[in-house]
Structure formats: C-alpha cells, structure tokens
Amino acid sequence: MDHSGKPFRWAIVGTGKIAADFASQVALIKDASLHAVFSRRREHAEKFRAAFGMAAAYDSFEELLADEAVDAVYIALPAALHHETCIKALRAKKPVLCEKPFAVSAGEAEEILAVSRQENTFCMEAMWLRFSPLVGQVRAMASNGELGRICNITVQVGYATPPGRLQDADPGRGALLNFAVYGASLVQMIMGNPASVHGDLIENEAGLDDGCTLSLRYPDALASISASNTVTMNNEAVITGTKGRVRLGSPFYSPRYAEVMHLSEPASGAPVKHNPVKGVPKLDRIPFYGLVQGTVWNALLRRRAKILMRKPGESGLKFEALEVMRCVREARIESETMSHADTLSVARILDQARGSQEATVPAPVSLQAI
C-alpha cells in the first residue's frame, strides 16, 4: 500500500463512546482522515458520519471492507465480536487496530494474530496506556535501571457500573476482561511474563465476574491487580523498585501525572531503615514528633517527589493511531510498543486468572452476528 503524500484514511467500526473518543483524536492528526464508519444500524452510522464529516457510512461490514479507500480499520465493538471482525478485516488485507480486550481468550487472540501473519497485514491491540507519553517515560525509567530492580507493582482498577450494562453476557464486560486487562498489560509491559498467575473472581447471576484479584509471581518480584465492576476504585498503579517508586495517577491507563520518588538502596549488611529516603533528617529530633509526624513526614516526602505532568492534548488514543499509521506505512505487521507477543502474553495472564489456559468464557447470548 503506497501512502506517500496521501492522508491516512481510517474506518471506524462501531459508534459507541470509545469510537467517538478515538475519532476525535484522529481528527487532530494532520495527515489522517476519518473516511468511513460501520454500525449494524444505518441511523447510527449516518449520525456518526455526519458528526465527524466522514465520506461514507456502512451498515454492512463486508461493504466497508470492500472500500478500497480504507487504509486501516479501528474495531470498537464488544469483545465477543473482536475475533470475527479482526479476522474478516485481515483476510480483506485491511490493517487492524482492535480495542481491548483484544479477544475473550488467548486461543482467540492466537488465531487472530496467526491470520495477521498469514495475510502479512498489520494488527495491534488498542491498549492506549502503552502509547501515553507519560507511561512511556515511566517504562523507560523501569527499563534503564533508574528505579532499580522492580520488586512490586500494585494496581487498582474499577468503576461502579450500572447493573443493566452487565446483564448482556458479553464476556468483555466482566471485571477481568474489561478492567484487569489494563493492569495486566501494565505489569506485563514493565515486568515481562510471570512465572505463575493466581486469580480469584466473584461472579454475578449472569455468570459475569463483578470483581477479581490477580496475583502475578515473578522469580524475585510480585504484582497484584484488583478490578471491580461494582465499586469505583482509586484507579492508580504503584511501581516499586529498589531505587525508586512511581505512582501513576488516576486513571493510570491514561494518567495526568506520575509521582516519582527516589529511594536510597540499603547497602548490603546495613541495618534496615523504615524510611530509607535520601536526605530526609531524622524525625525523632523534631520537637512534638508525635503531633507533627504525619504532616512533616509527608511534606518532606513530597519535596523528595518529582511530579511528571501530562502535556495538554497528549492522549494515548492519538499516539496509538499515529503508531498504526507509522507501522502500516513502513509495511510492518506489528508494533514493538504493543507487540503480538505481548498481546498474547496478556491474554494468557487473563486466561490463567480464570483458572484455565483454554477458553472458558460464557457464550455471548445477546450478540447478533454482524
């Protein structure tokens, strides 16, 4: 596909909130154009087309795929439809950016990625956290040793969701696939593939998990992820290494800030200090220690913290779109930032948390085939 000098023409598949958010970000990219949209309902496609000034609206996915002007498709449908739609698009040689969770099981993810390789056509999971410039800075700090050896990551992710929205039996609406996937992707990005995964899920009467916890074990590190559909959590992630700790502010998958704290590493053989922060005076020398302890200590700690702020307009959605455009123009089939192997590893972590390597997800009952 030759893209020289031409705008990159996107097709948006689905007309929900995230599809609109993505389209708004693509609209900010100079050499991209919002070309076409698909919805099973013509009126939804038409409304979306008009809102974003697009050239074409389709209520047939096959017709959209036959549109030669389309350079890539962004799939923003419920997770149960990702396998079918990604494979159809790839077979039609259309590069794919597919929303998270990439698939409802590692088996499905593997099948999609195999078709990407067979058709020599680009495919990427739309895990926008990996394209946030702020998260990118933290990823670099973790990999260049600035934080020391990473020993622990803790993540909380969840939003109180209206009950009606959880009754449609789309497995992608469960806390594991809908929310814990962000934590799993963050942990896998920083610490790689775990040696083992343990998961606990609480299921509702529709068979959907309302809450889950995941424990990921590494040879010398641990990670824990809690996710919920029933309560709004703090939606922060804390990455702790021997030389530093980073807190990604809420929501950690699109953070507005990151608080970085540099810690002094205890020398081997030295007695363990409870607050091993460099340069902070001994607190027990401060008068009325008991009264002021919390305030002073926190103030001192804050002064040791470096706050990295997101620049205005730096949404991961725009950067993931730019990454697709770069990769497709360079005739790549995958991105190094969100590689096929990483997508598969994350899907395997989620499978293992469910207690099986196989697809044991409930069959979608209310989704009609497109």
Ligand X SMILES: NC(=O)c1ccc[n+]([C@@H]2O[C@H](COP(=O)([O-])OP(=O)(O)OC[C@H]3O[C@@H](n4cnc5c(N)ncnc54)[C@H](OP(=O)(O)O)[C@@H]3O)[C@@H](O)[C@H]2O)c1
Query: Where do contacts with ligand X occur on this chain (CB under 6 A)?
Result: 14-19, 39-41, 44, 76-79, 81, 99-100, 126, 128, 172, 178, 367-368, 370
* Cβ distance to ligand X smaller for residue 28 or 307: 28
* Cβ distance to ligand X smaller for residue 86 or 138: 86
Distance in Å, CB of 338 to ligand X, minimum: 12
Q: Which residue's Cβ lies closest to ligand X?
A: 16
Q: How far apart are CA 103 and CA 279, in angstroms?
A: 48
C-alpha to C-alpha distances, 271 to 221, 265, 276, nearest whole angstrom? 22, 12, 11
Distance in Å, CB of 264 to ligand X, minimum: 37
Q: How far apart are CA 233 and CA 70, in angstroms?
A: 39
* Cβ distance to ligand X smaller for residue 61 or 218: 61
Distance in Å, CB of 40 to ligand X, minimum: 4
Distance in Å, CB of 269 to ligand X, minimum: 47
Q: CA 164: distance to chain centroid?
A: 24
- Per-position b or e across 215-246, b if 16+ CB within 10 A of its CB: ebebeebebbbbbbbeeebebbbbbbbbbbbb
* Cβ distance to ligand X smaller for residue 164 or 294: 164
Closest CA to 334 of 156, 192, 123: 123
Q: Is the preceding omega at residue 251 within 30 degrees of 0, hence cis?
A: yes
Half-sphere exposure of 294 (CA within 13 A, CB side): 1
* Cβ distance to ligand X smaller for residue 107 or 364: 364
Distance in Å, CB of 304 to ligand X, minimum: 32
